[in-house]
Structures are given as C-alpha cells and as structure tokens.
C-alpha cells in the first residue's frame, strides 16, 4: 500500500516495523463540547484506514486518547484549559463534562459506523507515565524549569520543524486574542510539559509531581499514552491537519528525545472540512453536529458517503446543497443494490470476484483513494456477473467503507415488498365486497365500450354508477372510483 507520509512529504510504500502487525495511534477528541462533523471527518477517514489495513491482512492495534485535561484555548499552550471553559459554560464539574461529551462522541461515532479503537485512554489516567517521561527529559537536558512550569527546550534538537512549511511566526497564529505570550519560554517554540503555575488558578484537576501540584501539557499526553501501549516503534500516527503543528511536532520532539531514536514512521493527516464561509467552528455560525444532520432529516450514512467520495488529503466544503446531492446519489446506489436478487441461489463466480476486487484494492492501495473505491462499487453494479457475485463484492468492500449498503438495501427491499403486499391485500379485500365487485366489473365494461368506440354505452355505465353514488375518476394509469 502507498501511503502519503506528511513527515517526508512523499507517498511511500507502507512497511510496518514488525511484519504483519500495525501499531496505530489517533489523537482523540477534547471532550469539552460535542464533536463537529469536521472532527468526525477525520475520525471517519482514520477508521477507513484502520479497516483497510485489517482487510489487507494486518493485525492492527489502535490506541486513542481522550483529552480531558491540559488542552488550552491556544494550541501554543496559552490561555485557559478548554475543559474548564466547558465546565463553566455548563455549570458542571470537569469530570461531569468529560463523561457527558465522551459518551456523546462515541454515540456519534456509532451513527457513522466508526469502530471504537482497541484501546481508549483518558489523559487523566496516565499521570505517572507523563511524570516519568518528563523526569527523563530533564535528566537528558531536554527540559527546564521556569516560573514553576516545566518546558521542553526545542533549541536542543537538531531538527524541530518536521512537517516543514511551518515557521516560528506561525506560533503567533495559535495565540488568540486576549492571550499573552509566555515570558518563561527560552525559545518561542518551547512548550509546556507540566504546569504548576497558571493565571487560571481555578484549574480543577491537579496532581502531585516532583515540581509541585499541577497538571500535564496537552502534547505529553499523546506521547505518554502511545509509548505506554504501543511501545517505542509506532507505525502510524493520525490526526487532522491542524494537529501537525504544533501538537505532532511537539510529540515527536519529546518522544524521540526520551527514547533516543526515531519513534513513528508514517504520519497521516486528514485535511479539513470547511464551510462556504471558511473554518468549521464550535462557537461561531451553525454548530454542525451529527444530531443536527439527523434533526434536518439526513441519514448519517449519507454524510459518510459524502466524505468517502473525496480524498482525505483534499479539504472538503460542506454545504446543505452538497448533502442533498449526496442523498440522491446514496439513495440511487441503495436502490440499485436492492434490485439485486439475494435469493437467486447462484454461486459466486470466484474468478470474476477477484478480477473486480482488484479494482477496489488498487484504489485503496493508492494512498486510500476512497473516491475511486466508491467508483469500484459502481463498476460491480455495471459488471456482467451474477447478482450473487455482485452482492458478495459489495459486502466485501463494505467491510472497509462501512456504508451499511446491504442493511439499507435489505430494508428498502423489505419496505417495497410490504408496500406491494399491502396493495395486493387492499385489492383482494375490495374485490370480496359485492358492491365493490360490481363497480370494478362496471369499470371493466365501460373500458371495453370505450375501446369499441361505443361512447353512449360508456356514458350510460358512468351515469348508472353515479346514480348509485359512485364517481369515476379517469387517470393516466386507468380508472379509479370514489364512493360518495
Ligand atoms: P479536537 O477535539 O479539537 O482535539 O479535534 C479532534 C480532531 O478533529 C483532531 O484530529 C483535529 O485535527 C480534527 N479537526 C479539527 N477541525 C477539523 C475540521 N474542520 N475538519 C477535519 N478535522 C478537524
Ligand atoms: Zn495527540
């Protein structure tokens, strides 16, 4: 498989550290609010990557953190803890907020068929691990104490800016209005490993440490959790593109300084989902959540389909119009699958199966080209192979795409069968009534009279029925009636 590696800015052949096994780490949500559908685009594309690696035969272990402490308003370690802000907004404790939004996050993931990673670790659960890492960094001379906090010294590294295209000035971008730069830092790019001093004294969660009571920085959490569960050689680290800098850059700095060798080989970043007016936000404009999609009548699967139709390394614009187009395309796809006969009794043509499947694999092997993988689904529907072969292929691809294709098609087929059965029953019930039987036979007689151009007879029949309180209605589909 070719995978684009943001660290080398190249598409590279994916070769895991241990043959047949993949260790994968995902930066999890900061649980101070609902996830917006942009956040969920990232988790969805990571889910496809994990599922495809399993599909390709790898034994994958995937770990994700839950950020419940230390993520400040600015990614450059300044401002207030996002969790504390969330707690104040809702007049709850930080732990109540964390529990509520963690549950909400997994409920959203469920609706989008995003599998839960093998290991989920809240950041507050690994404090001893962060402390031990920070101790090592201090011992090795990569960290210093200033103004009560412990900082990572980026000047000690030969190369800090891994993902390039980022410069020191970019750090200012992360510093929002009303947030002052931290004067304790020796270098602008230095970042906090452990806080004991902050302007925000009402920080709820604090722990004992060799440097005083405090709390960890956001970046150390992901390094600590990843090293704990996945060891010193990580195959893939994922996140949204905004995580590349400073978060992932800092993760690399502290992890490699600690272990003394290269840590993670492949860095996969998902580009953002934007709105027509720009960046997606939780505070400004419409807060786009999965619940909002549902309230507006959209099946979450349509949103997944919408995302899979474009490549993860391209930013994607969300609009209601784009969603409407995705609804039409998804429903058409489901209708075509529902039209296949699941009870044909035909055997699956294994040769045709493998030939067609090669198209899907080729698309996915090419840096996870899900848009071509979706095209491969249409190729199956168009192919001159049995319905049994088509259904087997669709089921196979959907173990990766997770678009609920067969479930939705079965549900549609069942609905159509129920509709037909209800219509047939209504006809049979009506025909069993002697008066209705008389009307139906009169309608037939009138139809025959009209065909024979005996319009006088046709009118006579209509008038006779009218006298009995029956009005005939002629439509393009035939004649129906109404009993007054
Ligand atoms: P957060 O909860 O803010 O830590 O973000 C969770 C994940 O969503 C991270 O991997 C972010 O990089 C990613 N993310 C944030 N905004 C967007 C967006 N507009 N589109 C796609 N992913 C995003
Ligand atoms: Zn992270």
Taking only the tens place, the pLDDT of each residue in 361-401 is 999 999 999 999 999 999 999 999 999 999 999 999 999 99
Which residues have CB atoms below 5 A from the ion given as ligand 2? 27, 222
pTM: 0.88
Q: Quick one: average pLDDT of 210-234?
A: 95
- How many whole angstroms separate alpha carbon 369 and alpha carbon 400? 12
- Please identify which residue in the block is written with the tokens 């009534």: 433
Q: Which two tokens stand for residue 314?
A: 């391209």
Cis peptide before 440, with omega less than 30 degrees from 0?
no
Q: Residue 111: pLDDT above 80?
A: yes
- How many whole angstroms separate alpha carbon 172 and alpha carbon 228? 32
Region class of 21: left (phi > 0), else alpha (psi between -120 and 50), else beta: beta
Nearest ligand 1 atom to the CA of 279 is: 19
- How many whole angstroms separate alpha carbon 94 and alpha carbon 82? 10
Per-residue pLDDT tens over the stretch 117-160: 999 999 999 999 999 999 999 999 999 999 889 999 999 999 99
Top mutation candidate among 104, 225, 240, 275 for ligand 1, by most atoms within 8 Å of CB: 240
- Please identify which residue in the block is written with the tokens 């173990």: 399
Rg (CA), the chain: 31
What strand order describes the sheet that includes 191-195? Answer: 143-146, 149-152, 191-195, 215-216
Q: Output the CA 191–ligand 1 centroid distance in Å.
A: 21
| Residue 129 or 177, more confident | 129
Closest residue by CA, ligand 1 atom 3? 30
Sign, CA dihedral 85-91-96-101, equals negative
Going by C-alpha positions, the residue among 193, 184, 233, 234 that lies closest to residue 214 is: 193
3-state secondary structure 398-462: HHHHCCCHHHHHHHHHHHHHHHHHHHHHHHHHHHHCHHHHHHHHHHHHHHHHHHCCCHHHHHHHH
3-class secondary-structure state, position 14: coil
- Please identify which residue in the block is written with the tokens 């440097």: 211
Q: Output the CA 17–ligand 1 centroid distance in Å.
A: 28
Mean pLDDT score of the chain, rounded to an integer? 92
Q: Are residues 61 and 118 in contact, defined by beta-carbon separation less than 8 angstroms? A: yes
- Percent of the chain's residues with pLDDT above 90: 79
Closest residue by CA, ligand 1 atom 22? 39
Q: CB within 6 Å of ligand 1 — which residues?
A: 27, 29-30, 38-39, 41-42, 67, 239-240, 242-243, 270, 272-273, 280
Q: Which ligand is nearest to the CA of 221?
A: 2
* Residue 175 confidence (pLDDT): 43
Per-residue pLDDT tens over the stretch 415-452: 999 999 999 998 888 778 889 889 999 999 999 999 99
Top mutation candidate among 42, 112, 272, 314 for ligand 1, by most atoms within 8 Å of CB: 42
- How many whole angstroms separate alpha carbon 420 and alpha carbon 92? 53
Q: Which stretches of 140-196 are DSSP H helices?
A: 170-174
Nearest ligand 1 atom to the CA of 243 is: 12
Instruction: Name the pLDDT band for 178 (thresholds 50, 70, 90).
Output: very low
Q: Which of 171-185, 194-208, 284-298 has the highest mean pLDDT?
A: 284-298
Q: Which two tokens stand for residue 214?
A: 């405090």
Closest residue by CA, ligand 1 atom 23? 39
Spacing of C-alpha 105 from chain mean position: 11
- Please identify which residue in the block is written with the tokens 């009548």: 297
């Amino acid at each position: 498989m070719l995978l684009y590696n943001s660290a080398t800015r190249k598409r590279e052949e994916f070769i895991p550290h241990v043959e047949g096994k993949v260790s994968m780490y995902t930066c999890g949500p900061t649980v101070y609010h609902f996830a917006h559908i942009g956040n969920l685009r990232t988790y969805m594309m990571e889910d496809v990557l994990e599922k495809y690696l399993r599909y390709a035969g790898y034994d994958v272990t995937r770990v994700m953190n839950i950020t419940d402490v230390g993520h400040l308003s600015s990614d450059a370690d300044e401002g207030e803890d996002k969790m504390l802000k969330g707690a104040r907004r809702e007049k709850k404790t930080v732990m109540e907020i964390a529990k509520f939004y963690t549950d909400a996050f997994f409920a959203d993931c469920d609706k989008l068929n995003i599998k839960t990673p093998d290991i989920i670790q809240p950041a507050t659960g690994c404090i001893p691990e962060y402390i031990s890492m920070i101790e090592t960094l201090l011992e090795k001379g990569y960290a210093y104490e200033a103004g009560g906090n412990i900082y990572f010294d980026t000047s000690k590294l030969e190369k800090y800016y891994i993902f390039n295209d980022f410069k020191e000035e970019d750090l200012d971008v992360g510093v929002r209005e009303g947030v002052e730069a931290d004067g304790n830092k020796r270098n602008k790019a230095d970042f906090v490993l452990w806080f004991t001093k902050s302007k925000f004294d009402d920080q709820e969660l604090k722990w004992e440490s060799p440097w005083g009571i405090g709390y960890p920085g956001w970046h150390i959490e992901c390094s600590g959790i990843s090293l704990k569960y996945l060891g010193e050689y990580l195959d893939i680290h994922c996140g949204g593109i905004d995580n590349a800098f400073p978060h992932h850059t800092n993760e690399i700095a502290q992890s490699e300084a600690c272990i003394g060798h290269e840590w993670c080989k492949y860095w996969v970043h998902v580009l953002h989902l934007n709105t027509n007016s720009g960046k997606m936000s939780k505070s400004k404009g419409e807060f786009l959540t999965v619940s909002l999609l549902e309230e507006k009548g959209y099946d979450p699967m349509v949103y997944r389909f919408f995302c899979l139709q474009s490549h993860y390394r391209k930013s994607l614009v969300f609009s209601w119009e784009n969603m409407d187009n995705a609804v039409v395309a998804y429903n058409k796809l489901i209708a075509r699958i529902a039209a296949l006969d699941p009870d044909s009794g035909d055997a699956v043509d294994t040769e045709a199966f493998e030939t067609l499947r090669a198209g899907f694999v080729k698309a996915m092997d090419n840096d996870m080209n899900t848009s071509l993988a979706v095209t491969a689904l249409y190729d199956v529907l168009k192919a001159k192979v049995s319905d049994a072969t088509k259904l087997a292929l669709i089921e196979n691809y959907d173990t990766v795409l997770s678009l609920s294709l067969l479930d939705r098609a079965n549900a549609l087929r069942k609905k159509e069968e129920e509709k037909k059965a209800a219509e047939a029953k209504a006809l049979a019930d009506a025909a069993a009534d002697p008066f209705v039987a008389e009307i139906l036979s009169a309608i037939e007689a009138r139809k025959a009279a009209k065909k024979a151009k005996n319009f006088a007879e046709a009118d006579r029949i209509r008038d006779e029925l009218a006298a009995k309180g029956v009005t005939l209605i002629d439509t393009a589909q035939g004649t129906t009636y109404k009993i007054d």
